Amino acid sequence: MSLLQTTNVIKRFGGLVAVNKMTFSVDEGHIVSIIGPNGAGKTTFFNSLTGIYRPEEGEIMFKDHSLIGLRPDQVSARGISRTFQNIRLFGSMTVIENILVGMHIRLKQNALDALFRSKKFHAEEKEAEQKASDLMEYVGLKNVGNELARNLPYGGQRRIEIARALAANPTLLLLDEPTAGMNPNETEDAIKLFRRIRDEKGITILLIEHDMRVVMGISEHITVMDYGEKIAEGSPQEIRKNQRVIEAYLGREAASSKD
Amino acid sequence: GQPPAATEAPVVTEAPVATEAPTEAPVVSMGTIKIATQSPLSGGQSLLGVAIKQGAELALEQLGGELAAMGYDVQLAPYDDQATPDVGVANAKNIVADSEILCGVGHLNSGVMIPSSEEYHTAGLAFISPANTNPVVTTRGYLEVNRVVGRDDVQAPAAEEYAFSTLGAKSVYIIHDKTAYGQGVAEFFRVAAEEDAITVVDFVGTEETANFDAIVTPLVAAAPDVVFFAGIYNQAGVFFKQAREAGYEGTFLGTDGMDSSDLADLAGDALTSGGGMAYTTVAGPVSAYPAAATFATDYTAKFGAAPEAYAAQAYDAMGICLASIKAAAEAAGGTPTRAQVAEAIRAISYEGLTSTIAFDEIGDLPLAKYFIIKVNATSKDTWGSNEIIASFDLASPGK
Amino acid sequence: MGKLLELTNVHSYYGHIHALQGISLHVEEGEIVTLIGSNGAGKSTTLRTISGLIHAREGKVHLDGKDITHTEPHIVVSQGVGHVPEGRGIFPKLTVQENLEMGAFTVNDQKIIKDRLDLTFELFPRLKERISQFGGTLSGGEQQMLAIGRGLMQNPRILMLDEPSMGLAPVLVDVIFDTIKKLNEQGTTILLVEQNALMALSIAHRGYVLQTGSIVLTDDAAKLKKNEMVQKSYLGID
Amino acid sequence: MKTFFSELYKKANSGFWPIFITLGLLIAGTISVYQSPRSLSAFLTLMLCPLLVYFMKINMKVKTFIGLILVIVILPVLGIRNIFYLEVIFQMAVFAALALGLNIVIGMAGLLDLGYVAFYAVGAYTWAIFGSKQLSLLHSIPGAAPAGAEFALSPNYFWLFLFLGVGLAALAGILLGLPVLRLRGDYLAIVTLGFGEVIRVLALNLDKPINLTNGPQGITPIQRPPLPPEFILSPIRNLLTPIVGHVPSEAEFYNVFFYFLALIIIMIAITVATRLEDSRIGRAWTAIREDETAAIAMGIPLVKMKLAAFAAGASFAGAMGALYAANRTFVSPETFSFLQSIGVLTMVILGGLGSIPGVIFGASAVVILNIQVLQNFSLYLSELRQSDAVIPIINFAWKDLSNQLDPAKYQKLVFGIILVVMMIFRPSGLIPAERRKRELVEDKE
Amino acid sequence: MKQFTSNPFYKFILFPIGQIIVFALGASLVLSLFTVLLAYIFRGFMTEFDLVERVLLILPQVVINGLTIGFVYSTIALGYTMVYGVLEFINFSHSEIFMVGGIVGVELMAYFDHTGALQTMNQYVIIALAILLGMVISGSLAVTVERVAYKPLRGAPRLVPLISAIGMSFFLQDAVRLILSLTTGEFNVILPNFGTFDEFLILAVPGIATPLRFQIKSILLVGVTVIMLVGLNYLVNGTKVGKAIRAVAQDRPSASLMGINVNMIISITFLIGGALGGAAGVLFALKATKLDPFVGFFPGLKAFTAAVLGGIGNLTGALLGGLILGLLESFSASYLSTFTNGAFGAEYKDIFAFAVLILVLILRPSGLLGQTVGQKA
Ligand SMILES: Nc1ncnc2c1ncn2[C@@H]1O[C@H](COP(=O)(O)OP(=O)(O)OP(=O)(O)O)[C@@H](O)[C@H]1O
Ligand SMILES: Nc1ncnc2c1ncn2[C@@H]1O[C@H](COP(=O)(O)OP(=O)(O)OP(=O)(O)O)[C@@H](O)[C@H]1O
Ligand SMILES: [Mg+2]
Ligand SMILES: [Mg+2]
């Protein structure tokens, strides 16, 4: 059964149709990729899913509930977390604080608990901090918990973004070009991380990437967009051979190179 | 060119000067006495506020000799109330905490005087106001609060009387500056006008100081006989000018807030054209007080500018402080307490520049002078050509 | 061929973070030189120090023999150093066209401007489609194209590119590298920072390897490509 | 030279030295203020103690103890000796509470509020209207109070209205917040500025059609809550009489009383602020401040959080407003001007945006500067002018100083210069927040 | 058509003037219609007089008043908006820059008065000289202030320069007062009387009972501001400097990488904003006839509000915002009392302006003409 199902989603900017009649689904427990040329509408599609944009037409169902009209925080509460293409960390908060912010919706404390420092509050804070440092380790960051997020190098910031997204215990994780700016070795690590997230935590992953090693390496299913529309769909093998995809996106060389 | 402080002060106090002061004995130091002033020394109203301070300063210099002769080092402690109640009150607390301060002169704004005097009252420190005309200043009946000027609930009806009887006004437009002073005056005027069945075309308050177009337009359309402005000259002057330019032909009327030669510079012809302009005041021009002639020259010599309104009153207020302290000191046979000074002030009869001053049981002048002045001046230099068309001694309405 | 650019023992800091710890390198006229290194090694910082966005606390930067260590960026740029920064630095409220024109701010020759504009649009037809869209609303890859295009518009003697392939679709990555090569053949010196070290080394003449703020290795590109350590750490070849 | 001082500092800040120095200063300060109650330098010395306590390496418990002794015993006693100090510390307390509230809105949630005194006004007028005779004057002309007007409520109701003030101010915060939450940054600033003006203009003008606020005349007298009963007061009075040298009057007791009330509110404010800050709510505020889009994508409900910040900030102002009205027994619209809002903002930023000890210190510093140092300085200069003093070297007699240069007239000028200079040399404030301190170091270069 | 729109004469002269006219007339018309409509609706409630007639009687004058002050606001607002656009902070001391310009201009005229030249020289030459001097002094002052009080603060947290600006504002008020009062203790500066500026141009319009009266100084004021607005428009949109200003506004490091001297551009921005403020000061002085060191505050506040209303950072927005605010003020001050039969009056005009501001911002969170081109997610 599909976890996320969109039907005919359309998002326009003025005259430009950035996402055009996207019908698309993600099965629970899968790693699914969206690829496509620059400006194809991938990020816009993500933004439509997460409530940052409200699509003009179409339906988005998540766990059999519609997401249309929900605010981003409500979408997040339903179990969808994301990272951003241009890193958007809380730069002058520490790494650990960033992750704690990610936990916001999972924490139960209210203002009164905070004011009176109830037992519940202490227990929860302690647990949250523990969980945050576990997460940091999980994504491969050590001993940087008290650094300001913006002082970390690019790759490190990408990892915090992922950890922050995981902190909300999502069912579905949306990653927008998570390995951009990473070198091949780091990319390898990231691939392993994504696999582990899916295998160990059972989180479904939807991914936008331009790095074919990632896309071809871990996706069960790939959707290709161009000019807002879905132009192809299938397994990595199918996509790699798809003539239209090669022309519009992969280029001859990449298509022929080993993964 | 100042007269040395010890010589011939132009003042005769109730108790004639200590003629039999021991001449040979060196003056024994009796300590310091301070007299505070509080008035806006900075900000938009500082012109008048500084005049109050300087009037008092001059008085201290010229009249402080007797106390000095008794061995006191008399000092001025000038405070800046910034025309704001909060600052005034804070300063007041500072003033009352200084035990060397035995008397005070201030404030300019009734809105500042009223809350500040609560502090003076609690601390028993006497203050003499040279400028506050709002009735509430004295109607609370505090021993420590006095004033050497008249009251708005007399002044404003006097202005109305002038409008009704002399000018024969049938309709009036009332505008005020949204201060405690301006609005107070305006309300008294309105009540009086309604009693005489004058039509009040509109009753407007405005904080605007520069561009009155929007107010003037309906005013000109309504064309009332008289426009009564309750506020301060530097707002009014601009307003008069713009109203005339826009075609208003009636008479402008105001109260003591208009009393500054700057008004003429600001408004120019607007004051004399059409129905002209007149104002009531509690502080007549220096020329109205024969005793004040030397004051004006001394003041100008010392401070480089002619005295603004209330400078002479501040001079008198300071004079009363000095005389009362002296009287109290003599009665007490040493440095007096504040209470003694406050009592002495109420008991005094003081020959001041502006009149012979004595206070009634709430600190008002039993008979205060009110003037109606018609403005003939169109510039600062001719301010002296204004005519006192009436002057009355009116009794204080009391509590 | 002289040393167009030379860094001697450069130390740069962000506050108390010692990002460059004594970098010495040079770029000769007509070369393509690449800097490789893992995240946080200091590649971007090196470029920023050269263009004057930050100033070295110690050491010297020379351009054509002239000391530019403490020169302000606009002067460095006007002396022929182009810098396409990491993170793109697009003017979000200028249109694509205006962004490109900004690139040519110091160029007065209208012909060059026109040529370069044509070149940019030829490379990235996508930009032409988006010509009057605001820079801030472009997609990530489109912004990258715009940043590179803007760098081209500067017509610099030496062009410094910070991860130009980031976020670009595979087809375009090829285009970018071809273009760099072509530009170089036409006489532009190139200093290239790339995560895609394999491709960078394929077109470069020489390369430097950075590790935590220091240069650990330098050699001809071809040789670096075969270096075991480089292969292992940066090319992802075990 | 520099190393010499830093060595000295290190030495002074290790072992028993800190306690020694701090206590020494405290005692010296106390004695000198006691001896010469009007000396500014003595008072400033004493006021340095809390700073020292804050910076020195001393056991937290000892710190708290010293601080409490100073705030609860020494200051009030010295205040009764010189009543002006009570005013100073009361104002410090009032503005510290305001600054703490504003700090929640600006420092934590990053919402620039330029009309903060509006909430202060709400609190003040709430008690002013009900705690005075105003209710029976609703149909009278402002200024002309007819005889026979009565207080509507017993002074005991003050306590109720203290809470009502808090509630109403918080409500006003929410009402203001609701329509404007979509606004970012400086749009919000101007709207809050407008809101501040609206409240002031309403206070100024709601004397008609019905006379709710008495317009520019302001409302007076306003009742004060009753003092604690005599059986508590009289032992205190007996105890204090020999110490302060006179029998403390009711007025003095009232000032102490209000000071303590203000202290309690500050304590609550500090507790609320710190506890909220390191909780999920505080983190959410910081996140919003940093990047709204990312924050909302992390599941933080923007509207709710921003409203919470507005309401929390406003409520302190409301409490202080009610307290202020009772202390002054007078309110008028002038107290709630735009400049006042700016003043509180200045305290927050001067002290250190986001830093709780910072904003308290900022508030104290500005109050002392404004009502004490500058006034004293100009009084001192004017004393010089009245004396025969001469500036040595250039042989300039103070007497000859032009009247136009009278320093008493230029307090604002000096204040302005201090602001600019402070910002240039300590942009992160006098006691920067830990977070900002880190940020700033990295921003340099 | 395309050819025509890219014609510089059209682009830099006709178009902006047209825009100003459209804004001015449009805003006036909308407000007038709205007011008259209200008057019709409430006609029955006023027994003593005919509300509609009352309204129509002074309507033309109210509109003229509103536009006149609106142009002043616009010109000051431009200074705020330019600085805001580039440095993203509210330059609180701009109101003092404005004040200084006005005072300098008036002092020049007073000097001419003193030497007697005032009566002999052509009145327009005098005004032109005064405006010029005001622009030069205010412009340089603004640049100096920037150098001294803001430049050292680049990179500091956002609110820091705001406080520095507030400090500057206090300082300038008192410093100007000090200078003015050095000789006599007097600090009001009063416009000397000369020329025919107070007179009215009377225009009888068929169909309207009362003829329209335009005061010469109002015409002058509007004329000069329009010229300046057009000039500014050209500078910002038609020259390289303008482009550089926009680039610096959006991304300083990137701008410097384009070869733009960021510090110089910031100085230029302050120079232009200051000069506009100075000119506005002189024009305002013509209208107000009296200035003092504290006169800047209210117009400054209004102008800033206008800048936000129009969409801060947007020059056209500042123009539109100023006009609307001026009109609103004029309408509310003139009519509120009539409509409510004295219960509410001119004293509510600012509330009115702020209420409209809030309303506009609720509907358009970035002001009338401000665009929200945020970073993408
Ligand atoms: N706010 C906007 N206004 C106008 N056009 C927009 C806006 N946002 C995006 N676009 C356009 O919509 C198209 C899709 O953008 P989107 O960011 O979704 O692309 P993408 O597939 O993520 O590309 P990339 O791989 O480069 O990140 C682009 O052409 C972009 O220019
Ligand atoms: N603005 C900044 N403030 C503080 N530290 C920074 C800043 N920018 C970079 N750094 C630090 O300086 C070091 C070098 O960073 P730099 O950006 O030069 O690395 P890089 O080699 O370009 O890495 P990447 O491949 O991730 O871009 C890193 O440790 C980084 O954390
Ligand atoms: Mg994208
Ligand atoms: Mg980098």
**Predicted local distance difference test score (pLDDT) of residue D52:** 78
Angle at E60 between CA E56 and CA E63, to 5 degrees: 115
CA distances from A78 to A7, A52, A63 (A): 19, 15, 9
Position D2 confidence tier, pLDDT thresholds 50, 70, 90:
low
Q: Please name which of D141, D177, D121 lies closest in space to residue B187, comparing C-alpha atoms.
A: D141
Closest residue CA from atom 29 of ligand 1: A39
CA distances from E145 to D278, E97, E274 (A): 40, 9, 10
Question: A255 with A177, same domain?
Answer: yes
CA B287 – CA B290 distance, rounded (Å): 6
Position E275 confidence tier, pLDDT thresholds 50, 70, 90:
very high
**Predicted local distance difference test score (pLDDT) of residue B27:** 64
Question: A186 with A64, same domain?
Answer: yes
CA B72 – CA B105 distance, rounded (Å): 19
Question: A67 with A176, same domain?
Answer: yes
**Predicted local distance difference test score (pLDDT) of residue E377:** 41
Closest residue CA from atom 25 of ligand 2: C39
Residue type, D41: S
Q: Please name which of E100, E291, E197 lies closest in space to residue B209, comparing C-alpha atoms.
A: E291
Across the interface, of B43, B203, B237, the residue whose CB is closest to E290 is B237
Statement: residue E160 has pLDDT above 90? no
Task: Give the residues across from C3 on adjacent strands.
Answer: C28
What's chain D's average pLDDT? Answer: 84
**Predicted local distance difference test score (pLDDT) of residue D162:** 92
Q: Please, is B159 exposed, middle or buried when counting C-beta atoms within 10 Å of its C-beta (0-12, 13-18, 19+)? A: buried
**Predicted local distance difference test score (pLDDT) of residue D442:** 42
Structural tokens at position A103:
């936990």
**Predicted local distance difference test score (pLDDT) of residue E5:** 64
Note the pTM of the prediction, 2 decimals: 0.88
Q: Is the dihedral of CA A145, A151, A156, A157 positive or negative?
A: positive
The full length of chain B comes to 399
Domain membership of residue A123 as a residue range: 87-169
Q: What is the 3-state secondary structure (H, E, C) of D89-104?
A: HHHHHHHHHHHHHHHH
Question: A102 with A122, same domain?
Answer: yes
Contacts of D419 in chain E (CB under 8 A): 163-164, 166-167, 170
Domains held by chain A: number: 2
CA A191 – CA A174 distance, rounded (Å): 15
Whether A39 is in the pocket of ligand 1, judged by its Cβ within 6 Å, is yes
Residue E354: φ, ψ to 5°: -70, -35
**Predicted local distance difference test score (pLDDT) of residue D338:** 85
CA B197 – CA B168 distance, rounded (Å): 12
- Any chain E CB within 8 A of the CB of B227? no
Across the interface, of D83, D216, D383, the residue whose CB is closest to B180 is D216
CA distances from B194 to B185, D274, E46, E349 (A): 14, 59, 21, 27
Tell if the CB–CB gap between E361 and D416 is shorter than 8 Å. Answer: no
Q: Which ipTM value was assigned to this complex? A: 0.86
Mean pLDDT computed over D144-164: 81
Nearest chain D CA: its distance from E362 CA (Å): 6
Mean pLDDT computed over A209-236: 91
What is the tens place of the pLDDT at every residue in C175-211?
889 989 998 998 899 999 988 888 899 999 999 999 9
CA E106 – CA E286 distance, rounded (Å): 8
Percent pLDDT > 90 in chain D is 21
CA A31 – CA A236 distance, rounded (Å): 12
Q: Is the dihedral of CA B251, B254, B258, B261 positive or negative?
A: positive
Question: A175 with A255, same domain?
Answer: yes
**Ligand 4 centroid to C46 CA: how many Å?**
9
Contacts of C126 in chain A (CB under 8 A): 37-39
Contacts of A164 in chain D (CB under 8 A): 298
Of A141, A169, A197, which marks where a domain is finished? A169
Return the minimum-mean-pLDDT range out of B115-129, D192-206, E47-61, E290-304: E47-61
**Predicted local distance difference test score (pLDDT) of residue E348:** 85
Cβ pair B342, B142 in contact under 8 A? no
Whether C134 is in the pocket of ligand 1, judged by its Cβ within 6 Å, is no
Question: A160 with A174, same domain?
Answer: no
Task: Identify the closest residue of chain D to B78 by CA–CA distance.
Answer: D379
Across the interface, of E240, E251, E259, the residue whose CB is closest to C91 is E251
Structural tokens at position A138:
């999980």
**Predicted local distance difference test score (pLDDT) of residue D26:** 83
From the centroid of its chain, how far is CA D260?
14
Statement: residue D217 has pLDDT above 80? yes
Q: Is the dihedral of CA A181, A185, A188, A194 positive or negative?
A: negative
Query: A65: domain CATH number?
Result: 3.40.50.300
Of A169, A195, A229, which marks where a domain is finished? A169
CA D216 – CA D195 distance, rounded (Å): 19
Residue type, E331: F
Question: A182 with A255, same domain?
Answer: yes
Mean pLDDT computed over D390-398: 76
What is the tens place of the pLDDT at every residue in C38-74?
888 899 999 999 999 999 999 999 999 999 999 999 9
How many Cα atoms sit within 13 Å of E262 on the Cβ side? 22
**Predicted local distance difference test score (pLDDT) of residue D436:** 55
Question: A165 with A95, same domain?
Answer: yes
Return per-residue pLDDT of chain B as tens, 399 residues: 334 444 334 444 444 444 444 444 556 778 889 999 999 887 777 888 888 999 999 999 999 988 998 889 999 998 888 888 888 988 898 898 888 999 999 899 988 999 999 889 988 999 999 999 888 889 888 999 999 988 888 999 999 999 999 999 999 999 999 888 898 899 999 999 999 999 999 898 898 888 898 889 889 988 999 999 999 888 999 999 999 988 899 999 998 888 888 888 888 889 999 899 999 988 777 777 778 888 989 998 888 888 888 899 999 999 999 999 999 999 988 899 999 999 999 999 998 888 888 999 999 998 888 889 999 988 888 887 888 888 888 888 877
- Report the Cα–Cα distance between both ends of chain C, in Å, rounded: 37
Of A108, A141, A169, which marks where a domain is finished? A169
Which of D420, D422, D443 to mutate: most E Cβ within 10 Å? Answer: D420
- Any chain A CB within 8 A of the CB of D437? no
Statement: residue D407 has pLDDT above 80? no
Statement: residue C27 has pLDDT above 90? yes
Task: Provide the strand spans (E) within chain B.
Answer: 31-39, 72-80, 101-106, 126-129, 145-147, 171-176, 199-205, 226-230, 251-254, 277-281, 350-351, 356-357, 367-374, 387-395
**Ligand 3 centroid to A39 CA: how many Å?**
7
Q: Please name which of D208, D194, D186 lies closest in space to residue D110, comparing C-alpha atoms.
A: D186
Whether C137 is in the pocket of ligand 1, judged by its Cβ within 6 Å, is yes
CA D356 – CA D362 distance, rounded (Å): 10
> Which of the listed ranges A27-36, D239-248, E368-377 does the model predict with the highest average pLDDT?
A27-36
CA distances from D10 to D21, D51, D198 (A): 13, 17, 53
β-sheet with A221-226: strand ranges across: A80-82, A172-176, A204-208, A31-35, A221-226, A229-234
Task: Give the chains touching A; criterion: ≥3 Cβ pairs < 8 Å.
Answer: C, D, E
User: How do strand B226-230 and strand B171-176 relate by DSSP bridges?
Assistant: parallel
Question: A68 with A184, same domain?
Answer: yes
**Predicted local distance difference test score (pLDDT) of residue D441:** 45
Question: A129 with A187, same domain?
Answer: no
Q: Please name which of D285, D278, D442, D368 lies closest in space to residue D84, comparing C-alpha atoms.
A: D368
Mean pLDDT computed over A190-199: 92
Domains of chain E: 2-363 (1.10.3470)
Question: A257 with A178, same domain?
Answer: yes
Residue type, C21: Q
Q: Please name which of A165, A235, A177 lies closest in space to residue A204, comparing C-alpha atoms.
A: A165
Only one residue has tokens 């004029």, namely: E330
Mean pLDDT computed over D187-216: 86
Across the interface, of E157, E174, E304, the residue whose CB is closest to D427 is E157
Only one residue has tokens 């665009």, namely: E371
User: How do strand A80-82 and strand A65-66 relate by DSSP bridges?
Assistant: unpaired
The distance between the two most distant Cα atoms of chain E, rounded to a whole number of Å, is 71
Percent pLDDT > 90 in chain A is 51
Question: A1 with A107, same domain?
Answer: no
CA C4 – CA A28 distance, rounded (Å): 57
Between D159 and E181, the more confident residue is D159
**Predicted local distance difference test score (pLDDT) of residue B121:** 92
